């Protein structure tokens, strides 16, 4: 059974505090979980940087092609949900 992983690097230039950063990141995490039924975790070891965040998105499915499409759509949705922010979507990695 394949497992897919996607990493998102988010730059929040308008975030002026940790509270602003947490609000933006929590919103994206909740929306990804609800819409795509994936696992989402914040991967940043340095939580004191309020303008950067790294999210890891993981999913498991019976078909690797489906997983590829699902994670690609999740990355596109995150970019769409964060207008005006710089979001770098990493490559989708599928492990069988």
Q: What percent of the chain has pLDDT over 90?
A: 53
> Is there a contact between 93 and 4 (Cβ–Cβ < 8 Å)?
yes
Global pTM reads 0.88
Q: How far is CA 19 from CA 9, 33, 62, 93, in A?
A: 18, 21, 39, 31
**Residue 83 pLDDT > 90:** no
At 7-44, the pLDDT tens digits run: 999 888 888 888 888 898 999 999 999 999 999 999 87
CATH number belonging to the domain at 3-95, selected among 3.30.70.1120, 3.40.1080.20, 3.40.50.300, 3.30.1490.20: 3.30.70.1120
Domain parsing of the chain, residue ranges: 3-95
Mean pLDDT, the chain, integer: 89
């Amino acid at each position: 059974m394949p497992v897919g992983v996607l990493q998102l690097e988010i730059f929040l230039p308008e975030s002026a505090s940790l509270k602003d950063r947490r609000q933006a990141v929590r919103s994206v995490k909740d929306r990804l979980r609800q819409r795509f039924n994936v696992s989402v975790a914040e991967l940043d070891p340095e939580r004191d940087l309020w303008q950067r965040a790294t999210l890891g998105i993981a999913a498991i499915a019976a078909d690797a092609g489906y997983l590829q499409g699902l994670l690609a759509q999740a990355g596109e949705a995150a970019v769409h949900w964060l207008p005006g922010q710089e979001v770098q979507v990493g490559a989708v990695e599928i492990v069988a």
